[in-house]
A and B are shown apart, each in its own frame.
Chain A
């Protein structure tokens, strides 16, 4: 399959597909970071995670509409406000969901799968009723359009670069929050042993609520970034939820670094293979690869070594 291309063309293809893979990687990481907190740390199987992302995307869509309608002069900067609003909306919905649903299910983690699956169907229908079944596109601000030519053959899109920087910032932020802050310490204590965490003086209910909210909020930011590379429909989130779980499980449920490494491996192999094979064939090969690795290392790529 490589024979019809020259060597320079092949390099360019690999570089550009690699870059496309990096964008996919960034969105996957953003989604997976939220899920790594909610599923990896709290053990809640949140099937509605994709819908929280889409909420962020719709909020971005609304913000962009409001800006182009009422404040076209400020349109260049709307995206940053949109991200903050997307985070806030998903965060608040997350807190509401934790309070109304998830907190009753910490002792029954498998039931969270069913409950959040139901929640995802409800949210999808709400999106369909409010925004319509058609996909909505958001036009990014001027400075994010176009691409930056590296060589004659290789061009990298600017929105891709933006998404990657955003991912880097958020990932660093989540790392600092989980491993350097007092709140992160409390979260890790609570997820490891809820009754004992309470018995050393941690208000576990408050920590749980905030943790779930922040995980959902990060998904909201992922949704905001998602509008830069695709259009938003009521069911767009579902396309990503399987990949996201795959990333978290493959990376090792409690490791942020593992999550990032596995998102990289999955998105790169996916994107590079997609160019040469069909999309579904690329997916099959990726899944086979992941299944193979998980059979050899059921704990995922990165797991902590401790006595249990």
Chain B
């Protein structure tokens, strides 16, 4: 589904991601774990094209998107839920989701999106900025799903969200994967959430993958040690 080869990202002269190689299978959920400053957000931002890569290839579903702009990557099948959610705060909930329809050319929001997030239908006339953190997170996911992505990228979706909603979110994400058949890459620091949803865990340290394991034979203590400060 998604192949990333010899991938490097740099801010000016300082390289943050070094020669990354990984592959995501269709319908697979992969958690990218690591402490702060290890390159998770940089990797996510560069996959969606907000941060240019300096070397390497990104191929999604057979299409090379290495040099594509963000909106072309969305057309190519990426969906992005950024860290801090970044919803359009002065626009209503409905309008926020509709911005995600741009690349598909559809005019109305598919009803299954509201079925996934019923709270958004209740609040569709409210301004996005007036929603709570958890609702904004759902809105950001709905907005990304509106473009019918093949691979959904989520950057620290649990940040600043209460534990009970985190569990809901894990359930919802798995449901999205099952019903829509997309693959999900999620960057995460919360181990319990990652273990809850991921089929595979990658640990990122100083811009390199230092550990990679399938969920079923995962050594929890070892991953926890990577995350410990």
- Interface residues of A, Cβ cutoff 8 Å to B: 182, 185-186, 188-189, 192-193, 195-204, 254, 304, 306-308
Contacts and interface: CB of A to CB of B under 8 A. Distances in A.
Contact of B127 (A198, A203, A254, A306): A306
Given A198-B69, A304-B90, A307-B89, A189 B129 contact: no
B90 A202 contact: no
Nearest to A304: B90
A219 to B, nearest CB: 24
B130 interface: yes
Interface residues of B, number: 30
B74 interface: yes
A306 B90 contact: yes
A192 B88 contact: yes
25 contacts: A182-B107, A185-B91, A185-B99, A188-B90, A192-B90, A192-B91, A193-B88, A195-B50, A198-B69, A198-B70, A198-B71, A198-B74, A199-B49, A199-B74, A199-B80, A200-B80, A200-B99, A200-B146, A201-B71, A201-B75, A201-B147, A306-B90, A306-B127, A307-B89, A308-B129
Nearest to A189: B99
B71 A307 contact: no
Interface in B77-111: 80, 82, 86, 88-91, 95, 98-100, 102-104, 107
Contacts of A200: 74, 80, 99-100, 102, 143-144, 146-147
B147 A307 contact: no
A195 B70 contact: yes
B91 A189 contact: yes
Given A185-B95, A198-B49, A201-B147, 6 more contacts: A185-B99, A200-B146, A202-B102, A304-B90, A304-B127, A306-B127
B48 interface: yes
Nearest to A307: B129
Interface string B110-132: 00000000000000000101100
A185 B49 contact: no
Contacts of A254: 90
B24 to A, nearest CB: 19
